[in-house]
Chains A and B, each alone.
Chain A
């Protein structure tokens, strides 16, 4: 008797479980058509956990705040008002994480676009977005986010729905020109990059461009996770480099600044292609003395001198910074996100308006290719026909700042020449 009872219990549990599984997987009925503004989901895979997570987390208040400001008006296409909703998913900065995040955003959250992306998983994400015809706005410069002819993964024929809204790679070379503008008597420029990016063709391009422009350079490499830069600093010093540009992150920048100061090379200027994430962190790690004179990327569009930005966009960014400060209950000075969100969504919105549709990715891409867009970073025309095989590469102000009295001060600017 006891045995029958148990068996029956097990079988019933199995049936109930199957039933729930079936119901959970059944198609949900379509929601009724809304009146009023329609929301379009924009997906953003980025590192929310793991060692790269600060870069995903710190700009988040600003991103959310900007969308808040933007959605007060929204945008109009063919008389219909639309709002944008940002959905962020953790991709852990890995290829598998990127693929999983992209799948979740597209198939789970119904995102029409992926924008603001900068993780190191271009290939994995693009492999998911392109078959789904979801327009993917990302940056150049991650190891595989370069043209296939340079050893990267981007191929306009197999990836027709990719846009490089932030040309990080070309921006790095551009910063070299900004540095020359700032220091015309520079003796030699030291370039420091991670061995992960030691991709043949890409770096060849950097070197050729600099050589052609008559800028003497010396290149050194650090391994991922390296914390001790004494050997590299010594090599730069022996080579006569008085300005160094690091294609790296906060960890390397801070370590380099501190160590070169301690080794006696106080006058070696050290710049980084990334922005200063926080004055406090830098000061606490590097020391106020060594921090003076540090150079970094600068994206505060209210300080631009050579590039003209629509005052409306400047105001939006200031408003977003204020809201972010309120949200985080403290000063919020990080302007580095301006190159991504709002610039990427602005490109998409204007393209949709030009194409007159929000549903046709081919028409929207056609409007993007070679088009001119007015964003929070200025007005630029999509280029890259010759180098990337398709005109999907945006422009950049090349603005840098220098630390004076512990604050970011405008240093110089070099508007990027359109890449052929």
Chain B
């Protein structure tokens, strides 16, 4: 449309305005409610979103990792052990959790990423179980099945303004937003640059990519390590919010859950997809657990995911519907879409 002497393309503007409004609402959400239950749900959705982003990045290099929950466990334990058992202050421990998680991912990656496809997935499953078993049995360090009770970060003084984590969920909420934003920026940057383009080609056709001189292992290793770092941070934060860490929290089924969140959210966008998928599935799970009829939650949860998979067009997720939504709004004919480039006019 034309306002005065300026041309504004409302078709790209309006979606951006809507996203902007949503982001604003999310940023000031605690103004609407400080109900701990609501805030908890959002905080945990955000944490899972970060883990899902990691899974998606690895997926884009053509690898299917069912061991991401193990990195959350590693991050959780590092942070818990450092703060509670060794008295290290919180924020250095938090960063250490991410770094150590990344280092372990790097080492495992070098050894294991050579294996192709299904073998890699099975090794990640075995890795996840090993982490759980080690955590359960290495009692001198992890306190075995009793787990470790974590402590909230110490209050941060910013001038006269004190951020006290022990006081409620609001500081956790904002730090979660910070974590999600930084992870999102990082992942988005990887995706946007040549590395991202390379990742996509590696995933689409590994053999051709290799022939073109792209070093498969190098990019897979980068993805796996980066995912390891942020997933470790997510795990450390989760454990702080939950106040407890034990070997049973991050098991194979959590890795499976991450995988399900990815597909439901959609793989078109490295940031939007995971956020939508994690929030939707996590909130659905919480909502279903309140239903009075026992065990219906499993039935409905499984059913909803399968239905979504069947109904959504080939291999896309909810985030990929975003583009379609606006085309419908503006009454435009559907563009022909190349596979794996859905959502190309967004993000």
Taking beta carbons and an 8 Å cutoff, which residues of A are in contact with B?
2-3, 6-7, 10, 14, 18, 21-22, 25, 48-49, 53, 57, 89-90, 92, 94-97, 99-100, 103-104, 107-108, 121, 123-124, 127-128, 131, 143-144, 146, 151-153, 155, 195-200
Contact = CB atoms under 8 A, between A and B. Distances in A.
Nearest to A106: B36
B35 A107 contact: yes
A13 B214 CA distance: 48
A211 to B, nearest CB: 22
Contacts of A107: 35-37
B248 A124 contact: no
A144 B147 contact: yes
A95 B244 contact: yes
Given A6-B329, A53-B294, A143-B246, A22 B21 contact: no
B136 A195 contact: yes
What is the interface of chain B mostly: helix, strand, loop, or mixed?
helix
A95 B242 contact: yes
A124 B10 CA distance: 49
A199 B32 contact: no
9 contacts: A3-B331, A95-B147, A103-B40, A128-B243, A144-B146, A144-B246, A152-B146, A153-B147, A195-B137
Contacts of B126: none
B201 to A, nearest CB: 36
Contacts of A146: 146
Given A95-B249, A198-B144, A199-B146, A22 B32 contact: yes
B143 interface: yes
B33 interface: yes
A124 B136 contact: no
B290 A104 contact: yes
Nearest to A123: B244
A352 to B, nearest CB: 26
Given A49-B295, A57-B294, A131-B166, 9 more contacts: A3-B331, A7-B329, A25-B33, A49-B297, A97-B289, A99-B242, A103-B40, A124-B244, A127-B244
Interface in B13-46: 14, 18, 21, 25, 32-33, 35-38, 40, 44
B341 interface: no
Nearest to B242: A99
Contact of A10 (B18, B139, B166, B244): B18
B37 A10 contact: no
B149 A153 contact: yes
Given A49-B294, A151-B146, A94 B36 contact: no
A89 B331 CA distance: 47
Given A6-B330, A14-B18, A22-B32, A100 B244 contact: no
A9 to B, nearest CB: 8
B145 interface: yes
Contacts of B33: 25
Contact of A100 (B32, B40, B243, B297): B40
Contacts of A6: 329-331
A123 B244 CA distance: 6
Interface residues of B, number: 40
Given A25-B32, A127-B149, A144-B147, A53 B330 contact: no
A200 B37 CA distance: 36
A92 B298 CA distance: 12
Nearest to B325: A10
A6 B325 CA distance: 12
A263 B1 CA distance: 85
A8 B171 CA distance: 36
Nearest to A27: B33
Nearest to A90: B289
Given A6-B331, A22-B32, A151 B139 contact: yes
A108 B41 CA distance: 13
Nearest to A93: B248
Contact of B21 (A14, A89, A153): A14
Contacts of B329: 6-7, 10
B37 A108 contact: yes
Which has the most chain A C-beta neighbours within 10 Å: B10, B36, B249? B36
A281 to B, nearest CB: 18
A28 to B, nearest CB: 11
Contacts of B295: 49, 53
A48 to B, nearest CB: 5
B308 interface: no
3 smallest CB-CB distances across A and B, nearest first, come from: A127-B243, A25-B33, A143-B145
Given A14-B21, A22-B32, A195-B136, A124 B146 contact: no
B286 interface: yes
B80 to A, nearest CB: 11
B32 A3 contact: no
Nearest to B38: A25
Given A49-B289, A99-B243, A197 B248 contact: no
A153 B10 contact: no
A96 B289 contact: no
A314 B151 CA distance: 44
A233 to B, nearest CB: 24
A90 to B, nearest CB: 5
B198 to A, nearest CB: 37
Nearest to A143: B145
Contacts of B242: 95-96, 99, 124, 127
Interface string B99-132: 0000000000000000000000000000000000
